[in-house]
Amino acid sequence: MADFAAASGAGQKAGVALAATGLILTVAMPGTGALTATAESNQASAALTGTQPEIPAAASATIDFSRAAVSTTADPDSKLKQLLSAQSVGSIKTSSSKGTLGAPLDTLTTASPFGYRVNPITGGLGEFHRGQDFVAQCGTQVHAAAAGKVTFAGWHPYGGGNRIVVDHGNGLETTYNHLSSFNVQVGQTVNRGDVIALSGTTGASTGCHLHFEVMVNGDVVDPLGWL
């Protein structure tokens, strides 16, 4: 009985450790099961020889949507330009816009999604969260999501703190908030992937992160429909 309890405890510990390192998520992706070999040899042999092993994950485990900031060798800016010129930006469907903006951080891990949520500062219900919060230590490089012109780089009086707005043309804008410092000025043209700022926690923010917004004709939309 004692042995069983000990073994069970060790198993749980391993599961928690996997979740904490993010390795747990690599096994959920097809074709990468072999990567578990680095985690634990017993599980690795099971993964290689048998059916997909059950993956333990704490309910609180962070879902990691990691991807590279520059993810394609094609010309993503001309793809975006074509999309924006082909039709009114307001009528573009997610199936067309998905993937046309580049990641504003090297690693995108959602801390708080776009849409209605409990306000993290006031605890109030039903607050509309105008952007997507991504995990970012203060001082992390922030990239322009696409080519465009900087139309604002300054203090946002409504909570954004140090904020940059990039106009991509045809009614599409992206904004970057709570920054610790700027690398660009108003009027400057930027290329996709340029480091335009360092992340921070200025303005209405409970800790270091990047609040990223996508605006279509002045209205915020879910950034995940464009990333």
- Mapped to the 3 state alphabet, what secondary structure does 54-116 carry? CCCCCCCCCCCCCCCCCCCCCCHHHHHHHHHHHCCHHHCCHHHHCCCCCCCCCCCCEEECCEE
Is residue 213 a contact residue for Zn ion (CB under 5 A)? no
**# residues near Zn ion by CB under 5 A:** 2
163 binds Zn ion (CB under 5 A): no
Window contacting Zn ion (CB under 5 A); options: 32-40, 88-96, 97-105, 211-219 = 211-219
Q: Which amino acid is at 29?
A: M
- Pick the piece of the chain touching Zn ion (CB under 5 A) from 7-15, 34-42, 147-155, 208-216: 208-216
Looking at residues 103 to 132 of the shown chain, list those that interact with Zn ion (rule: CB under 5 A). none
Q: Which is nearer to Zn ion, 133 or 173 (CB)?
A: 133
- Cα gap 10→24, rounded to integer Å: 16
Q: Is 133 in the site for Zn ion (CB under 5 A)?
A: yes
Element holding 9 (H helix, E strand): helix 2-21
Q: Using CA atoms, how far apart are residues 211 and 135, in angstroms rounded to an integer?
A: 9
211 touches Zn ion (CB under 5 A): yes
Nearer to Zn ion, 168 or 211 (CB): 211
For binding to Zn ion (CB under 5 A), which residues are involved?
A: 133, 211
